Amino acid sequence: MNFDMTEDRQMLSETLSRFLADRCDWETRNRVAYTAPYTDAGRWLALAGLGIPGALVPEEHGGFGGTGFDISVVFEALGRALCPEPFLPTLLASRVLGAVGKDQTGLVDGSIRYAVGISEIDAPYDLGGMITCARANGAGFSLSGRKTAVYGAQVADRLLIAALLGGKPAVFEVDPRAAGITPYGMIDGGGAAEVLLDETPAVLLARDAGALLNSVIRAGRLALCAEAVGAMQFAYELLLDYLKTRRQFGVAIGSFQALQHRTVDLLTEIEQARSITIAAADALDGPDGDLKAAMAKNLIGRAARLVAEETIQMSGGIGMTWEYAGSHYSKRLVMIDHQLGDTDHCLEEVMQSYAA
């Protein structure tokens, strides 16, 4: 048993955090996060230069990481800085490309940007309700349907799309220029797009891809959990700072037990969130990978909302303002629950382990 980070990951974390402190400072973050295209091309390439996409890709596919703990260390640092650059789609795409043995050079060096479309309006988190479908079309395939809230699709060079083929989920590559892309910004910063597919030409990457998509989703869940841990930790530190400096009734408001005990409860839940994320990272590609990722995403959904709402409440009116960094953390922490399976959906997946 060992809970220390390896030296390599420690270095990666420090390098990334230093870079973000410099290039994703508060004003820059908000300007990029809330202005189309919701990403900064120069910063993206600089991050790729630091090896951040490479850390998400296993060695045999041209990267130098790709394990659960590589993913969590990267996303925790991104979450702490509330960085809106779309690394989640990079991770999801890498899992797809790795599984089908496609070259990832462009993904690793940042020159090719991917987005992965799985969610649909009526099937946001489950593959079972998917209706986007593929049709054989001469030598290739064409896709029809609509993929919703495809993160990173506003700037993607390539789309990886889940669609039904013969009644089973399959994965296709689509040229975004051939699809209808409606880009938008997100309430918590960053961007996505609706992807409208109408007899859109597509290249089949994987048939019968239920298991593959599950492995993509569980890695994505782990990443979101780690991002939330980083964001929660920072929001908590901001709150502590506020409790020590804000004075009312002639004293620092942190001297009030009504606030102290609630802050301790946040600390407790953040530690629990960190623990379940470690457990999910450890289990990622083992037999319990899906279960632990679902457990983690459920607990994170609960903890992140608590931290978001309580930090707003305890920061009073300031917590409600756009000016205050904490408000943007609160938004991200709440909205993470809307990606790749919310609290209830993940709880249900855990409940399914009770069947039989």
Stretch that binds another protein, among 11-19, 127-135, 257-265, 313-321 (CB under 8 A): 257-265
Determine contact, residues 165/134, Cβ cutoff 8 Å.
Answer: yes
Determine contact, residues 241/233, Cβ cutoff 8 Å.
Answer: no
Comparison of 35 and 255: residue with beta carbon closer to another protein: 255
**Counting contacts by CB under 8 A, is residue 237 touching another protein?**
no
Q: Which amino acid is at 163?
A: A
Q: Which amino acid is at 70?
A: D
Q: Whole-number minimum distance, CB 67 to another protein, in Å? A: 9
Determine contact, residues 307/232, Cβ cutoff 8 Å.
Answer: yes
Residue from 123, 238, 275, 309 touching another protein (CB under 8 A): that is 275
Comparison of 81 and 278: residue with beta carbon closer to another protein: 278
Residue from 50, 279, 320, 325 touching another protein (CB under 8 A): that is 279
DSSP structure string for 28-40? HHHHHHTSTTSS-
Q: Whole-number minimum distance, CB 235 to another protein, in Å? A: 14
Stretch that binds another protein, among 83-91, 190-198, 264-272, 318-326 (CB under 8 A): 264-272
| The two structure tokens encoding residue 3 | 């809970």
Q: Whole-number minimum distance, CB 298 to another protein, in Å? A: 5
Residue from 47, 99, 197, 278 touching another protein (CB under 8 A): that is 278
**Counting contacts by CB under 8 A, is residue 134 touching another protein?**
no
**Counting contacts by CB under 8 A, is residue 6 touching another protein?**
yes
Residue from 21, 203, 211, 351 touching another protein (CB under 8 A): that is 351
Comparison of 179 and 232: residue with beta carbon closer to another protein: 232
**Counting contacts by CB under 8 A, is residue 244 touching another protein?**
yes
Residue from 7, 250, 261, 317 touching another protein (CB under 8 A): that is 261
Residue from 5, 100, 123, 178 touching another protein (CB under 8 A): that is 5
Residue from 171, 225, 232, 243 touching another protein (CB under 8 A): that is 243
| Number of amino acids touching another protein (CB under 8 A) | 41
Cis before residue 37, ω within 30 degrees of 0? Answer: yes
The number of C-alpha atoms within 13 Å of 279 and in the hemisphere containing its C-beta is 17
How far is CA 201 from its chain centroid?
28
Task: Please tell me what DSSP assigns to residue 342.
Answer: -
Residues 57-86 that bind another protein (CB under 8 A): 69
Q: Whole-number minimum distance, CB 281 to another protein, in Å? A: 7
Give the per-residue contact string, 8-37, with another protein (x = CB under 8 A; - = no): ------------------------------
Comparison of 109 and 348: residue with beta carbon closer to another protein: 348
Cα–Cα distances in Å, from 353 out to 222, 349, 356? Answer: 19, 7, 8
Counting Cβ atoms within 10 Å, is residue 160 exposed (0-12), middle (13-18) or buried (19+)? buried
What's the rounded Cα separation, in Å, for the pair 171 and 164?
8
Residue among 229, 345, 218 at smallest CA distance from 280:
218
Phi, psi of 159 (to 5 degrees): -110, 135
Counting Cβ atoms within 10 Å, is residue 117 exposed (0-12), middle (13-18) or buried (19+)? buried
What's the rounded Cα separation, in Å, for the pair 307 and 320?
14
Q: Which residues bind another protein (CB under 8 A)?
A: 1-6, 69, 240, 243-244, 252, 254-255, 257, 260-261, 263-265, 267-268, 271-276, 278-279, 281-282, 292, 295, 298-299, 347-348, 350-351, 354-355
